[in-house]
Amino acid sequence: MTIAALDLQNVRRTYGRVVAVDNVSLTVAKGEFVTLLGPSGSGKTSTLRLVGGFDQLNGGSIRINGERIDHLPAYQRDTATIFQSGALFPHKTVAENVAFGLRMRKVDASETADRVKQYLGIVRLSGFADRFPAQLSGGQKQRVALARSLAVRPAILLFDEPLSALDLSLRLQLRAEIKNLHDQLQFSAIYVTHDQGEAMAMSSRVAVMRNGAIEQIDTPENIFHQPINEFVYTFIGESCCLAVRLGPQPTDGAGGRIDLSLQGDHAPGDARLYIRPSRLRFGPDAADLPNRLKARVEFVEFLGDMNRYHLRAAGLELFADHAGAAVHRAGDVVDVGWQSQDMRVFR
Amino acid sequence: MSDGSTPLTRRSVEPVVFRVLTLAFTIFIVAYVLIPIVVTLVMSFNEAAQIRFPIKVWSLGWYGDFIASPQWTDALKNSFIIAVGTAVISTTAGILAAWAFERYDFAFKNVLYILIMMPLFMPGVVLGLGVAIAFGGLEIGGVSIYGSRGLVMVAHSLWAMPLVFMLMEATFRTIDNRVVEAANDLGAPPVRTFFEVVIPMVSTGVISSVLFAFVISLNEFVMALFLTDRDTQTLPVLMWLSLRSAGTPRLAVASVILALTVFACLSLIMLWYIRQLRKVSR
């Protein structure tokens, strides 16, 4: 059995009565890119800070390359963090920033110079060695932070929402760059984010967190297609929720009659039906589909390459995305249909 | 015609009376601050033996007299040595204490905070007398510490250190803690992080602290009066003693030297501040 780059066993952190990290167990294989995904307060950053040594755990163990490190201070751990703000040393040049970790690890001068050059090349900032951080753009700062962390070749890289302070186009660009770098260099990493797009695009595996605990950990595909529970389903991707009461005459839960027909047997009672808005079909397209609902168009949003229809059936609100020209207008009553495999039922 | 189209500037909205009052106040403050200094400066070039107007003959005579007098140059030397010592003691202690208060939790933090700040609000007479009574009788290696420059440095640090502490506490609060964590994360132990990463980030605060402490000590009179003897007396002490015997323009010369030193220190703070601003914004 190969030794994992990082191994967390029942890691726990409490602040008074608040449980920030609740018995988290997680293994990152060498070369694996694992994302901790969750809303704010889900414990993902707390977990990362415990690994980095910026906080002390109350229970459990952390091993890096098989060696227990949870008693060591941050400066003795073989980790390197990329912070949200970049956290560059403002009075040091770009080259000095990248060299800092190497100096602390007593790497000799010629090797240090080589590595600074190498990693500034990798993040495409070769001409910026003598600049100061204040002279760089936000994206460039984050690239320097990346080079500074990569240069020490840590056992595991820790990303603490590194892109969340950047604007959208830059975020997409850097996201692709980090993924490329991972493909090239095969470093092991934990990446903390609340952006599910980032998580899906970059990760070998995604751990969805809530209330300090991991709800599900799996490949992005499996997380998306086989969410283990309602929370994971709703957190990954957009979805419409129909809270209904099933029975001979289905209602919207508050008693309003709805014209809903579902394929297969569904036990009567309250249920929440989830459908991805991109999988909903209308009008003639819906006629042959096994699951159907009659709904009235409330209003239409133009989203560029598609239209988003906001629909209402009694007390139920849903929206559906449709490519092409707007075929329905507000007030139209339409048939909405979907395939059974595109629907998830939670009770 | 531009009826109603004139842009409403702040100036046009402000009542005239505000502007007049502002001007008057500014003139008053400038005059109040500058007149005594200017009069002293002018008087230092008076050749006469008395501080008195009008000045009949202008000369640099009293400056020559000052430099030639061992009593006065010694006092100036004492003032400088004590001010440098105070700057070193209070900057070191103040910065370390501020860092400890900013970064760590420890027992009796609030009590210690009050203890550090209290001397700042104590009259100099009380502190000077207190130090003289409490430590005046002590001997180290058979030499009484009373009258020593070291004792004055420590006494002056009672005032300078809380100021440094306040200044540095505020300064430390402005630094991004993630940068400190990044240094630890990359393998720098706390002490190394402090000197290589934290101190350069607060260099403006450190320079200001050193110069403030220096100026406070240079200006201080009451404690120095209580704690110095003939060999260690500072310039302000000698000036006061000599004013009682003879008010010669030599006093004005001493004032000018003191004032110029203080101005030089303030200018240094300004220059450093501007330099740092340029560095950050370029």
Q: Is B279 on the interface with A (CB under 8 A)?
A: yes
Residue with tokens 């060999």: B231
Q: Which residue of B has its CA nearest to A55?
A: B181
Chain B nearest C-alpha distance from A285 (Å): 54
Q: What are phi and psi of A213, to 5 degrees?
A: -125, 155
A132/B282 touch (CB, cutoff 8 Å), yes or no:
yes
Q: Is the CB of B178 inside 8 Å of chain A's CB atoms?
A: yes
| Chain B touched by A135 (CB under 8 Å) | yes
Domain ranges of chain A: 6-235, 240-346
CATH of A240-346, one of 3.40.1350.10, 1.20.1440.230, 1.10.10.10, 2.40.50.140: 2.40.50.140
Cβ pair A83:B281 closer than 8 A: no
Q: Which residue numbers in chain A have pLDDT < 50?
A: none
Is the Cα torsion angle A90, A92, A96, A99 positive or negative in sign? Answer: negative
The pTM for the full model equals 0.80
Cα separation of B38 and A105, whole Å?
A: 59
Substitution target from B175, B186, B192, B277 for chain A, most A beta carbons within 10 A? B186
Shortest alpha-carbon distance between residue B192 and chain A (Å) = 9
ipTM tops the 0.90 cut:
no
Q: How far apart are CA B233 and CA A92, in angstroms?
A: 45
Over residues A38-47, the pLDDT tens digits come to 998 899 999 9
Of A74, A88, A132, the CB nearest to B184: A74
Q: Is A141 on the interface with B (CB under 8 A)?
A: no
Give the start-to-end residue ranges of the domains of chain B. Answer: 70-281
A242 DSSP β-pair partners: A273
Task: Using DSSP bridges, classify how beta strands A79-82 and A156-160 pair: parallel, antiparallel or unpaired.
Answer: parallel
Report the candidate in B172, B207, B176, B205 with the shortest Cα–Cα distance to residue A133.
B176
Helix, coil or strand: residue B250: helix
Q: Which fold has domain B70-281?
A: MetI-like fold (1.10.3720)
User: Is B279–A134 a contact, with Cβ atoms under 8 angstroms apart?
Assistant: yes
Is B181 within 8 Å of A132 when comparing Cβ atoms?
no
Burial class (CB in 10 A: 0-12, 13-18, 19+), A178: buried
CA–CA separation, A77 and A154 (whole Å): 9
Each of the 282 residues of chain B gets a pLDDT tens digit; together they read 444 455 555 556 667 888 889 999 999 988 888 888 888 888 888 777 777 777 777 888 888 888 888 888 999 999 999 999 999 999 999 999 999 999 888 889 999 999 999 999 999 899 999 888 888 777 777 777 887 888 999 999 999 999 999 999 999 999 999 999 999 999 999 999 999 999 999 988 999 999 999 999 999 999 999 988 888 899 999 889 888 777 778 888 888 988 888 888 888 888 888 887 776 655
DSSP per-residue codes, A11-77 = EEEEETTEEEEEEEEEEE-TT-EEEEE--TTSSHHHHHHHHHTSS--SEEEEEETTEE-TTS-GGGS
CB contact under 8 A, B279 and A75: no
Q: Is B146 exposed, middle or buried (0-12, 13-18, 19+ CB in 10 A)?
A: middle
Determine, for residues A83 and B192 on separate chains, whether the beta-carbon distance falls below 8 Å: no
How confident is the model at residue B94, as a pLDDT?
Answer: 96
Count Cβ atoms below 10 Å from residue A334 Cβ, excluding itself. 18
Beta pairing partners, A207:
A36, A217
Provide the H-helix boundaries in A64-203: 94-104, 109-122, 138-151, 168-185, 196-202
Contact (CB<8Å) B185/A79: yes
| Separation of alpha carbons A298 and B264, rounded Å | 74
Chain B positions touching A52 (Cβ under 8 A) are 181, 185
∠ at Cα A43 (A39, A45), nearest 5°?
90
Q: Is A149 helix (H, G, I), strand (E, B) or coil?
A: helix
Minimum CA–CA partner of A84 in chain B: B178
Interface test with A, best of B180, B185, B197, B278 (most A CBs within 10 A): B185
**Contact A181/A143 with Cβ under 8 angstroms?**
no
Residue B11 pLDDT: 58
What is the C-alpha R_g of chain A?
25
CA distance B185 to A201: 27
H helices present in B137-249, as ranges: 149-173, 177-185, 190-193, 199-201, 203-219, 222-227, 235-245
Contacts of A163 (CB under 8 A, 6+ apart): A142, A170, A171, A174, A175, A193, A195, A198
- CB distance A300 to A284 below 8 Å: no
Asked if B185's CB is within 8 angstroms of A53's CB, the reply is: yes
Domain A6-235 has CATH 3.40.50.20: no
B187 touching A (Cβ < 8 Å)? yes
